[in-house]
Amino acid sequence: MAPNGFATPDHGIEEGSVEIAAPAREKERRLADWLGGRRSVVVGYSGGVDSTYLAVVAREVLGRDRVLAVLGRSVSVPSDQVRDAIALLAERDVPLTVVETGEVADPRYAANPVNRCYFCKTGLWSVLGPMAQSSGFEVVIDGTNADDLGEYRPGGAAGREHGVESPLAIVGLRKDEVRDLSRARGLRTWSQPASPCLASRIPYGTAVTATRLAEVERAEAGLRALGIDGNLRVRHHGDLARIELDARILDAWLDPDRMARMARVCQAAGFERVTVDLAGFRSGSLNILDGVVAA
């Protein structure tokens, strides 16, 4: 058994190989208690750091038959991300259902207001809630962590309106702690950069369309194929792509030859003009540009 009392996961990485701070271990124990107090859970799953960790821990605590992860698939989620997310839970024997979400067809979402995420999540939870109820699951949970509570996240309001609970936040687990605990479990997501949906690359007020999302997806996939790792965003400014690279590699990619390669990739993806942001990746970059602040 692992020190927290869970069955030791069969991931091929020695459990004790990662040092976990006592507060994080304590929070994980409280998470296990919280989950153990539920008859069954549906996990809103994205394949990201938080929801992966949550789904795996829920599977460990509750067993296979009392957990169902649900992944929303749409044109706003990169297809390789969906593929990886499906494979990851299969490796961990976590039951998974994929539902098609049609947020882009919702005019309130497609208009791309600052609370766009609210409409996306409303659509998602409107599907998951009845699904959970009809299948006899007690509660729907998501991977919102304690750090998320201090950020501008209109999607969180949709969750609260639909009775979605956020056990990571409830027990106070922060992002860095979730990463450490994921690493201890051998989850490859532990070091995964944040990967918000493709619509986050489109400035507020500019319509979210399948075409624009596809341009961003192709450009980012092409840039990854050039060997760019870490944080990467292609911000969509109409005719212009603004590439944000991880600060760690930015200077190296401001090389003229490499810039030419990036330009070709993004032009092939559909952008007329290609630029590289001189500050590099910034989480919520378009919020800064649009002057959006946390409510």
Partner 1 sequence: MTTLESRLRVEGIACRVEARDRLAILVPDAGQPVVLRGEIRQRVLAVAREEGFTHVTLDTRGGSAALPRD
- Using CB under 8 A, list all residues that contact partner 1: 237, 240, 242, 250-251, 254-257, 259-260, 262-264, 267, 273-279, 285, 288-289
Nearer to partner 1, 193 or 203 (CB): 203
- Minimal distance in Å, beta carbon 219 to partner 1? 13
- The kind and range of the H/E element at 233 are strand 232-237
Q: Please identify, using beta-carbon distances, which residue of 150 and 256 lies nearer to partner 1.
A: 256
Query: CB of 191: closest distance to partner 1 in angstroms?
Result: 26
DSSP letter (8 states) at residue 48: S
Q: Which two tokens stand for residue 37?
A: 């107090």
Q: CB 199 → partner 1: shortest distance, Å? A: 19
Q: Which is nearer to partner 1, 126 or 275 (CB)?
A: 275
Q: In the complex, what is the shortest distance from the CB of residue 150 to partner 1, in angstroms, rounded to a whole number?
A: 21
Cβ distance to partner 1 smaller for residue 142 or 215: 215
Sign for the CA dihedral angle at 135, 156, 119, 190 comes to negative
> What angle is formed at CA 234 by the lines to CA 249 and CA 125, rounded to 5 degrees?
120
Nearest residue (CB) to partner 1, 90 versus 247: 247
Q: Write b or e for each residue in 234-270: b if 16 or more Cβ atoms lie within 10 A of its Cβ, otherwise e.
A: bbbbeeebbbbbeeebbeebeeeebeebbbebbeebb
Least distance CB 252 / partner 1 (angstroms): 9
| CB-nearer residue toward partner 1: 210 or 254 | 254
Min dist CB 152 to partner 1, Å, is: 16
Q: Kindly state the helix (H) or strand (E) to which residue 51 belongs, with its residue range.
A: helix 49-62
Please state, in angstroms and rounded to a whole number, the distance separating the CA atoms of residues 231 and 240.
20
CA distance 79 to 64: 26
